[in-house]
Amino acid sequence: MRAQDLVVERRWALITGASDGIGRAFAVELAARGYGCVLVARRAERLRAVAEQIGPGRCRILAEDLGDPAAIGRLADATADLSVDLLVAAAGFGTSGPFVDADLRSELDMIDVNCRAVAALAHVFGRRMVARRRGGIILFSSLLAFQGVPRSANYAATKAYIQTLAEGLRPELNAFGVEVLSVAPGPIASGFAARAGLSLGLSQTPDVVARQALAALGRMTTVRPGWLSKLLIGALSSLPRGGRTWVMAKIMAGMTKA
């Protein structure tokens, strides 16, 4: 089932990372298409600002830190009365610099948020969608997911997990009327880069990601939204995996602190 088919029945979307960047763009776009939106992020005040932008009575705010393993159970309980037919798992963060110099707690927290929480969300809400035989799950990979990336090794590894998860889940769930899409964006103008310690040159806006991902749901397994993503993946795709890693090492050296 494609996103446009889901919208007609005015069901609910659960969007993590909805307070900023790509998650916020999805919330605004989906609300414009008729969805009720369950907005999930750590900071309630930012979620309230998004809800006010969307309009009264159209959002449910759930302030949760997905790094807490108990958060998924609370989200499941808080949405038990809703028909959540679209999961947009946009929450996540990155780090940069040499892995052995990084704070270990932060690196492990990133695995929790980027991988464990996403797997749990896909399991909980995927089961509900399978029972209703309809729905969509949008997961977030990255252009960094397709090779090793020096100076962003752990983040790239978390996104490789998401890419592989989405590729495996799509044929499993498609038989039950549930579509799965991996979104692999390139550089995006959001708060992500600042938190990761990256200095971006060219970047795309989050609304491009939201629109093109929703258009791709039900049509493909992986979408690389925007011209910049397509340009970058085109330049890398002709290289062997080791060559892509070498190129990414050069790129990351110019984007991260020494």
Residues contacting residue 75 through CB under 8 Å, at least 6 positions apart = 14, 40, 62, 64, 121, 124
Superfamily of domain 3-255: NAD(P)-binding Rossmann-like Domain (3.40.50.720)
Q: What is the DSSP letter of 84?
A: E
Q: Is 121 in contact with 77 (CB distance < 8 Å)?
A: no
CA dihedral 5, 53, 223, 162 (to 10 degrees): -100
Q: Where are the domains of the chain?
A: 3-255
Residues facing 41 on adjacent strands:
63
Q: How far apart are CA 199 and CA 63, in angstroms?
A: 29
Buried-exposed string 2-34: b where 16+ CB fall within 10 A, e elsewhere: ebeebbeeebbbbbbbbbbbbbbbbbbbbbeee
Q: What is the pTM of this model?
A: 0.86
Residues facing 62 on adjacent strands:
40
Residues contacting residue 239 through CB under 8 Å, at least 6 positions apart = 247
pLDDT at residue 202 in the model: 54
Q: Is 163 in contact with 35 (CB distance < 8 Å)?
A: no
pLDDT at residue 146 in the model: 93
How many other CB atoms are found less than 10 A from the CB of residue 87? Answer: 26
pLDDT at residue 56 in the model: 87
What residue has token string 């932060």? 106
Rg (CA), the chain: 17
pLDDT at residue 9 in the model: 47
Q: Residues for the chain: how many in total?
A: 258
Residues with a catalytic annotation lie at 155
User: How crowded is the C-beta side of 86, counted as CA atoms within 13 Å?
Assistant: 35
Full strand arrangement of the beta sheet holding 222-223? 59-63, 36-41, 12-16, 84-89, 135-140, 178-183, 222-223
pLDDT at residue 249 in the model: 78
> For every one of its 258 residues, what pLDDT tens digit does the chain have, with 9 covering 90 and above?
444 444 334 589 999 999 999 999 999 999 999 999 999 999 999 999 999 999 988 999 999 999 999 999 999 999 999 999 999 999 999 998 999 999 999 999 999 999 999 999 999 999 999 999 999 999 999 989 999 999 999 999 999 999 999 999 999 999 999 999 999 988 776 555 555 455 455 567 899 999 999 999 999 999 998 767 676 776 677 778 788 787 777 777 766 655
Residues contacting residue 132 through CB under 8 Å, at least 6 positions apart = 83, 85
Write out the E strands in 100-162: 135-140
| Direct distance between the N- and C-terminal alpha carbons of the chain, in angstroms, rounded to an integer | 47
pLDDT at residue 11 in the model: 86
